[in-house]
Structure formats: structure tokens, C-alpha cells
């Protein structure tokens, strides 16, 4: 998962100009998509996803939000151990161990360690993630991360060019794939399952600068089990705004996180470009409000 590619080079490239209020969509904190989508198949999808996740390899994601500079200042300590900080502090011997665990260990020996991670040229291998967790205590919030439509660069997540559902996704998640294909998108550039293990929480972060993105990126998040509690964070007021819906769209340039719970939770996020008639229908159903009414 990649985001803020132009802002992730160093800690000093954080977002000092980003407003701390919830920007939302059309004056609202989020758009409840339940009235606009046929969700009758979500119970069957839930059964399929749980069975499928038991049979496919999954990855970790998150783990470097603080060092990427995309967390609100008041909640930075919730990131616990951040792998961006860990990588910068590795000894020469530890760097050699880290390189040996890469997907291409020989090439990794000659690469800068700062090239690894989110928004970097080299993604962390599964072995590197586990070593960072076991040896250095790095906290990866989303430990059940599965890409159904892989996407490398965050700013390309809305483009379908050169992308498709993987064969594995089509094999183990056929009903989910069919559901996603029926969603009102012109094109889909990214689809993944975001799961949190029991007692884990999603660190609060944002995915873009609202001053540079006046319109919210198009995506649908749906939670078949309805038990993953995502919230928007208002840094100015130190308040959470929980999203109580099984399908929704929010402005991912707003700070957002996921509450902890004593059980596994997941959602599926689909990024792309909405069909014009669907977007128009949403606008008509949710006419723009003044910011103070959000």
C-alpha cells in the first residue's frame, strides 16, 4: 500500500499545511453508500472471504505512518515502534541481516536501506516484515492484507491500466470479484482486503493533502460483517467521528483510523473512477452543505 509518494522521502516532508478539521465530501463527513448499492450478497461474501483468507498468503501493511509524517501530532505515539525509525537505526550487521531477508537478497545488498517500505522503490518482503516485528517490535496494524487487484503507486490507484484481478483472487474469492465488478465504477485500479487481528487497531493517518486534492478520490469501502469500526479524526477538536455503515465513501485526505476490538475484523476497499450517473445521483441525494453543517 503506497501513498503520498512526493511526501514520504523524509520525516521533514510531513504535511504542515494540511488543515486539522474533517474536510469530508460535499460538506458531510462521509457518504453512506448502503442506500445506493445492492448489498444483499454480503453475507455470502463474508463466508467466502473468511474461508479464502485461510488459504491464501497474506501480508502486513502500515507500520511506518509516523515516519512518513502522515499521522496527527497528538496521536503519533500510537504508532508504537515504527519501521522507518528502526531502519534508520540499524547497525551494519543488522542491515546485512535485513538485506538477506529481501525477495532478492543479492540485489538488496547493494541497495540503500531507505529504498525499502511503503512509498519506496522496494516493498518489504514477508520475511523482512516478520523480522522487523519479531526482532524490533515494529507494530504493523493491518496484519491480514491481501491484494486482489495489485497496485504499486498510490497515485495510480484509480487507474485500471495494465491491472486485473489476480488468478488467485478469482479462484478463492469468485463471489467477491463478481460483486466488485458490479459496483458502479467506470474503471477499477485497486482492490484489497484490509484485516486487523484481535486487539490490533488501525493507526490514525491520512492519505493525501486536501489542499492539493479539492475533490475526494473515488472509492467504496464495504465491511461484510459490519463489525470494523472506522472513524474520522478531528485533530482540532480531538474528536472521533465513527462511520456506522457497511458500505461507505469518505475523503481519505482526512485523518482516519480503526478501533481495536477483541476479534478479527476486515473490510474491502475498491478504488477507481465512479460512473458519471452514479456520481450525479450521489450529488443529488447529498446536496452540498456548508462546512459548518457537516
Radius of gyration, CA atoms only, the chain: 19
Question: What is the predicted pLDDT for the residue at 291?
Answer: 54
Q: Is residue 3 part of a domain?
A: no
Question: What is the predicted pLDDT for the residue at 140?
Answer: 98
Count CA atoms closer than 13 A to 19's CA, side-chain side.
Answer: 12
Indicate whether 133 and 172 sit together in one domain: no
pTM, to two decimals: 0.89
Are the C-beta atoms of residues 265 and 195 closer than 8 Å to each other?
yes
Indicate whether 202 and 259 sit together in one domain: yes
Number of structural domains, the chain? 2
Per-10-residue mean pLDDT, the chain, length 294? 41 39 92 98 98 98 94 94 95 94 82 81 93 98 98 89 98 99 98 99 93 91 98 95 97 97 99 98 87 47
- Of 118, 190, 195, 196, the C-alpha closest to 161 is 190
Q: Is residue 268 part of a domain?
A: yes
Indicate whether 77 and 213 sit together in one domain: yes
The boundaries of the domain holding residue 189 are 19-81+139-293
Q: Is residue 14 part of a domain?
A: no
CATH number at residue 219: 2.60.120.330
Domain end position, chosen among 120, 138, 156: 138
Question: What is the predicted pLDDT for the residue at 293?
Answer: 44
Q: Report the length, in residues, of the chain.
A: 294
Indicate whether 128 and 147 sit together in one domain: no
Q: Is residue 4 part of a domain?
A: no
Are the C-beta atoms of residues 198 and 264 closer than 8 Å to each other?
yes
Tell me, letter by letter, the H, E, C secondary structure of the chain. Answer: CCCCCCCCCCHHHCCCCCCCCCCCECCECEEECHHHCCCCCHHHHHHHHHHHHCCCCCEEECCCHHHHCCCCHHHHHHHCECHHHHHHCCCHHHHHHHHHCCCCHHHHCCCCHHHECCCCCECCCHHHHHHHHHHHCECCCEEEEEEEECCCCHHHCCCCCCCCCCHHHHHHCHHHHHHHHHCCEEEEEEEEEEEECCCCCEEEECCCCCCCCCCCCCEEEECCCCCCCEEEEECCCCEEEECCCCEEEECCCCCEEECCCCCCEEEEEEEEEECHHHHHHHHHHCCCCCHHHC
Amino acid at each position: 500500500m503506497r501513498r503520498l509518494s512526493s511526501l514520504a522521502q523524509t520525516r521533514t516532508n510531513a504535511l504542515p499545511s494540511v488543515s486539522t478539521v474533517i474536510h469530508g465530501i460535499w460538506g458531510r463527513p462521509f457518504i453512506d453508500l448502503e442506500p445506493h448499492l445492492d448489498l444483499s450478497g454480503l453475507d455470502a461474501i463474508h463466508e467466502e472471504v473468511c474461508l479464502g483468507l485461510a488459504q491464501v498468503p497474506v501480508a502486513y501493511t502500515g507500520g511506518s505512518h509516523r515516519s512518513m509524517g502522515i499521522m496527527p501530532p497528538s496521536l503519533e505515539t500510537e504508532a508504537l515502534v515504527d519501521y522507518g525509525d528502526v531502519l534508520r537505526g540499524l547497525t551494519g550487521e543488522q542491515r546485512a541481516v535485513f538485506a538477506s531477508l529481501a525477495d532478492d537478497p543479492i540485489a538488496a545488498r547493494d541497495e540503500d536501506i531507505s529504498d525499502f517500505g511503503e512509498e519506496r522503490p522496494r516493498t518489504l518482503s514477508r520475511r523482512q516484515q516478520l523480522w522487523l516485528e519479531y526482532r524490533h517490535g515494529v507494530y504493523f496494524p493491518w496484519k491480514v492484507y491481501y491484494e486482489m487487484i495489485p497496485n504499486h503507486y498510490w497515485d495510480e490507484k484509480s487507474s485500471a491500466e495494465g491491472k486485473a484481478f489476480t488468478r488467485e483472487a478469482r479462484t478463492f474469492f469468485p463471489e467477491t470479484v463478481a460483486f466488485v465488478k458490479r459496483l458502479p465504477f467506470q474503471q477499477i485500479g485497486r482492490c484489497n482486503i484490509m484485516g486487523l487481528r484481535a486487539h490490533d487497531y488501525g493507526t490514525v493517518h491520512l492519505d493525501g493533502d486536501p489542499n492539493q486534492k479539492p475533490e475526494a478520490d473515488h472509492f467504496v469501502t464495504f465491511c461484510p460483517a459490519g463489525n470494523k469500526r472506522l472513524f474520522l479524526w478531528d485533530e482540532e477538536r480531538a474528536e472521533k467521528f465513527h462511520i456506522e455503515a457497511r458500505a461507505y465513501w469518505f475523503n481519505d485526505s482526512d485523518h482516519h483510523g480503526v478501533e481495536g476490538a477483541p476479534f478479527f475484523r476486515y473490510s474491502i476497499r475498491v478504488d477507481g473512477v465512479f460512473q458519471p450517473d452514479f456520481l450525479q445521483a450521489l450529488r443529488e441525494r447529498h446536496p452540498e452543505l456548508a462546512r459548518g453543517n457537516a
